[in-house]
Amino acid sequence: MTGDVSPMRTALTRAGRTIRPGPTAPPIRQVLSDRRDLVSSARQRAQSPLTTLRHYAVTSPGKLILILVVLALACLGTGLYASTTLENRTQTLRLMIDRTEPLAEASQVLYSSLSIADASANSAFISGGLESPELRTRYSDALATASSSLVIAAGSAEDVGSAPTSTAEREIDADLNTLAISIPVYSGLVEVARTNNRLGNPVGSAYLGEASSLMQERILPAAQRLYQRRSMAIADPQSALTKPPWGVYIALIALIIGLVMTTRYLARRTRRRFNIGVLSALIAVVVGTVWLLTSGLMSVAATNNARIDGSAPLRELTSARILTQQARSAETLSLVRRGDQDDLDRTFADTTAAIERLLDRVDGNRGDSSAVTDAQLYNANYVLDRWRELDAQVRQEMANGNFAAARTMTVGDGRLTTAQAYRDLDRALTDTITTTRLEFRDDINTAQRVLGFTGTGILVLTLFAGAAVVIGLIPRIREYR
């Protein structure tokens, strides 16, 4: 054992003293490992900007810079979003008043004029021989009005030659082609019928019947579809415009909350109660929100009034006028087609009953600010009842075989004729339609003017708010240098 210990003792003993390892010194491997970890961490921080940015973001100047960037971008984004949304609403209102509503009005006039022309042609044929100048003029004026309305209803000159891009546009284009082709054919058949009627040829009634069938089965359905599609082009965007721009309100309120929280954070960190820049931005955004709240609600109210007191009753009254023309055509055709009395009598009764229901609906749905008066509706209902009574007398004369008296009561010029009652009802409906249309256009113009420059104003205010935030926070960031 002495031999084993002696070499170790010799190795640990130098110059007469014993060397012992220090109890607190770390092992050499652990020191090298820690050094490698420190070098690797330093290299990683130097190579990763995101890591450096994350470490910097938790510092006070880093937080202020982050707040500055977020608020500036929020101000810019809110302003652009508000401006785009409100400008789109203004453009929709402007398009509605400048283009969509005139197209719908032209389509309504087109349908009514075609019906008037058909009824006038039938009345002229019933009178026998040479028709009266009044009937001839009424027919010619109605056909001319229908032709000009067709040009307007087809759209503006800038649309000519453009290909339809949707199913609705293709259907409108098909109806317009049908009308453009069929109206000249109809007028030609009427002229042939008129010529034969003057010469006393019985074949004239056949030509008139073919012309009337073309009008009832092909031309008027196309005109009615055209009007319905044009009127729906008003109803669809108008329904959307009656809702406030909630997205803009939410964006502005969120921006206000962010500015208030920033003010509280700065007051807590910098021991300053107010920051002029952030406070100015807050005031600007609040002003923009109040502006939008006022103008937006006024615009929505005006648009809603235009829908309730304008476009809704306008569709009902227009439908009533269209039915009036259909009832007159059925009434006059009953004297031409004496073997088709039951169907034509039923058509007249059904259409006049539908007119009464439409007038009652307009009366029941009127708002407090409606431009349609009680006198206008009473007059229309009174004339409708008188027309029914006179038509019943005509039917009685025809049942008794007194066709001459029936013809006089149908196309005569006296007050106690169905022709006069029909003209009175058509005039009453036309006056009410004109009043309602003016009400609609006034409300839409009000909505457009009220909304006006709100989008541009909010954009300017939010840009000012973004600049104010930058100007207000930069001095606070520099204090940390």
Q: What are the structure tokens assigned to 448, written together?
A: 């457009």
d(CA 203, CA 14): 148
The DSSP H or E segment spanning 339 is: none
**Integer Cα distance of 282 and 77 in angstroms:** 16
Cβ neighbors of 248 (< 8 A, separation 6 or more) are 81, 82, 85, 86, 292, 296, 458
Are 300 and 446 a contacting pair, CB within 8 Å? no
Fill in the amino acid letter for 74: A
> Which pTM does this prediction carry?
0.73
- CA pair distance 104, 233, nearest whole angstrom: 8
Q: What's the N-to-C CA distance of the chain in angstroms?
A: 73
Length of the chain: 481
28-41 burial code (b ≥16 CB/10 A, e <16): eeeeeeeeeeeeee
Residue 335 tokens, joined: 């004297």
pLDDT at 34: 63
Series of mean pLDDT values for 10-residue runs along the chain (481 residues): 48 48 59 64 57 62 84 93 91 87 87 83 68 78 88 62 62 88 90 80 77 86 87 79 88 93 83 82 94 90 85 86 84 70 79 91 80 86 91 83 79 80 90 89 89 90 93 82 60
Give the per-residue pLDDT at 77: 94
- pLDDT given for residue 464 in this prediction: 94
∠ CA 457-463-467, nearest 5°, is: 145
CB-based contact 433:314 (threshold 8 Å): yes
DSSP-derived letter for residue 271 is S
State the pLDDT at residue 113: 87
**Predicted local confidence at residue 48, as pLDDT:** 57
User: What DSSP designation does 309 have?
Assistant: I
Return the beta strands (E) in 22-61 as ranges.
none
Is the Cα dihedral 226, 229, 235, 238 positive or negative? negative
* Rounded-to-integer distance, Cα 92 and Cα 46, Å: 55
The amino acid present at 293, given as its one-letter code, is L
Helices (H), 271-373: 276-306, 312-336, 341-364
Comparing CA positions, the residue from 290, 169, 272 lying closest to residue 230 is 169
In the chain, count H helices and then E strands: 17, 2
